[in-house]
Amino acid sequence: MKLQKVVDEKTKAEFLNFPVKLYKDEKNWIRPLDKDVNQVFDPKENKFFRHGSVERWILVDDSDNTIGRVAAFVNKKNAKTTEYATGGMGFFECINDQKAAFMLFDVCKEWNAEQGMEAMDGPINFGERDKWWGLLAEGFDLEPNYCMPYTMPYYKGFFEAYGFQNYFEQYTYSMPVQSQMPEKYRERADRIARDQNYNYKNYNKGKMDKFADDFLTIYNKAWSKHGGMKGMNKAQALSIFKQMGPIVDTDIVVFAYYKEEPIGFFLMIPELNQIFKYLNGQFNWWAKLKFLYYQKTGACRKMFGVAFGIIPEYQGRGVEGAIIIEAARIIQPKDKYDIFEMNWIGDFNPKMIHLVDSFGATVVKKHITFRKLFDSTKPFFRAKVID
């Protein structure tokens, strides 16, 4: 076996296409769009290159067949935000061979150490946390959501045997769209409904700028301190709504207001993998026509929760339940969706876990983000719990 850096069109193609061969018998695996994977490694597309760097490898056997791939990266801006200077590794795929897996881990460890790192997290993304983050540990019987990893069950044993430790877990919650809210939330929501200072609005594409401002206000008050997340600016907020444009269903994007001041949002979109699974990783003109066809014919019966936030002053007053009940009032009679799923509820966020549990949602998938300390004599710390 030997490692080859990804440096030319041939090795780039092998890096991109190896999972297609590896998962050919896995019925629940959905091929990611090639463009989404390629963008991670394109300095023109990925803003993280402004303060970071990346290296990729493929692993080939003695007959020059690709049997593994991996990427290592350093985000200099965020590398020292925890106890140890920490880089990353991700896009790990490998045949069921521990020696091969360890060769891929070794090259990532060596590369990160050369960059001055004391640890590496993995498998993670060279980019935002909402994509390609974590190793699937439970939920192999379900299809992955868009840009969420679906990985081989034997990978977990490789990571643990190499000395990676569980840094945090991410849960995907699910519930039927026709579910009824628990009575305690209905009572609180009814109290809020009698207060005319509260009102709700569905997203209006023609007022994108206003809703981007409202989203920005709520996000920066409710989310900016979660898990090391930074505050957002107007350009970033507008970018989110522009990206949602072609796929947004205004029925499932709800904002809450008190005296016309924005206090909460519940952003949902149709779960794109329910359509992308028919495109075989492509998004050329023919694939786009197919996308429109499946979109129009109702192939997507799953909703996906992008974000849910209530500003701190209104948390615990019943707004959480009220905004969900308002969304259900619009969504349930139309019967467009069967299932609602929400990714990325971290085990370091017990308040959010309690809230989602109390709504009656259940965990259907678990991903693990591991951390490998290069000096095993140093103490290991899990991700800090959000107060």
Task: Pick the most confident of 15-19, 258-262, 322-326.
Answer: 15-19
Do 320 and 191 belong together in one domain? yes
Same domain, 227 and 113: no
Residues 94 and 185 placed together within one structural domain of the fold: no
With beta carbons less than 8 A apart as the criterion, state whether 65 and 81 touch. Answer: no
Separation CA 106–CA 18 (nearest Å): 20
Task: Give me the number of domains the chain comprises.
Answer: 2
Q: Distance between terminal CA atoms of the chain? A: 47
- Judgement on whether residues 155 and 191 belong to the same structural domain of the protein: no
Tell me the percentage of the chain whose pLDDT exceeds 70: 97
Q: Is residue 23 domain-shared with residue 108, that is, in the same domain?
A: yes
Residue 360 placed within a domain:
no
Domain finish residue from 337, 365, 381: 337
**Res 314: pLDDT:** 86
Q: At what angle do helices 234-244 and 208-222 cross, to 10 degrees?
A: 120
Q: Name 305's Cβ contacts closer than 8 Å, sequence gap at least 6.
A: 266, 267, 268, 340, 341, 342, 343
**Residue 348 falls inside a structural domain:** no
34 and 160 in one domain? yes
Same domain, 96 and 189: no
- Higher model confidence: residue 108 or residue 78? 108
My answer on whether 97 and 239 are in the same domain is no
Confidence of residue 370 (pLDDT cuts 50, 70, 90): very high
Is 34's pLDDT higher than 90?
A: yes
The last residue of one of the domains, among 337, 358, 376, is 337
Give the CA dihedral 144, 176, 255, 198, nearest 10 degrees.
Answer: -160
In a domain, 314, yes or no: yes
Work out the number of other CB atoms within 10 angstroms of the CB of residue 85. Answer: 18
Residue 225: predicted pLDDT:
55
Q: Looking at the structure, do residues 192 and 105 belong to the same domain, yes or no? A: no
What confidence tens digit (pLDDT) does each residue in 207-250 have? 999 999 999 999 888 765 554 556 678 888 888 888 888 888 99
- Among positive and negative, which fits the CA dihedral 352, 354, 359, 364? positive
- Give the pLDDT of residue 236: 83
Q: Which of 314, 337, 360 is the C-terminal boundary of a domain?
A: 337
Residue 376 forms part of a structural domain = no
Task: Give residue 14's pLDDT.
Answer: 96
Domain range spanning residue 200?
A: 178-337
pLDDT at residue 179, as a whole number: 87
Q: What is the mean pLDDT of residues 57-81?
A: 91
In a domain, 344, yes or no: no
Residues 16 and 116 in one domain: yes
Residue 254 domain flag: yes
Contact indicator for 29, 150 with CB cutoff of 8 Å: yes
The pLDDT-based confidence of 7 (bands split at 50, 70, 90) is: very high
236 shares its domain with 303: yes
Tokens (6 digits) for 66: 């690709």
Q: What is the pLDDT of residue 230?
A: 62
Assess if residue 67 is contained within a domain: yes
Same domain, 87 and 213: no
Instruction: Give the pLDDT mean for 264-272.
Output: 92
**With 70 as the cut, is the pLDDT of residue 113 above it?**
yes
pLDDT over threshold 70, residue 274: yes
Beta strand 66-75 with 52-60 is antiparallel
Token pair of 89, please?
């590794």
In a domain, residue 26? The reply is: yes
CATH number of residue 271's parent domain: 3.40.630.30
Q: Which of 341, 346, 349 is nearest to 306 (CA)?
A: 341
> Rounded to a whole number, what is the largest CA-CA distance in the chain?
73
Tens digits of per-residue pLDDT, 164-203? 999 999 999 999 999 887 887 778 778 888 888 999 999 9
User: Is residue 8 classed exposed, middle or buried when 0-12, 13-18 and 19+ CB atoms within 10 A define those classes?
Assistant: exposed
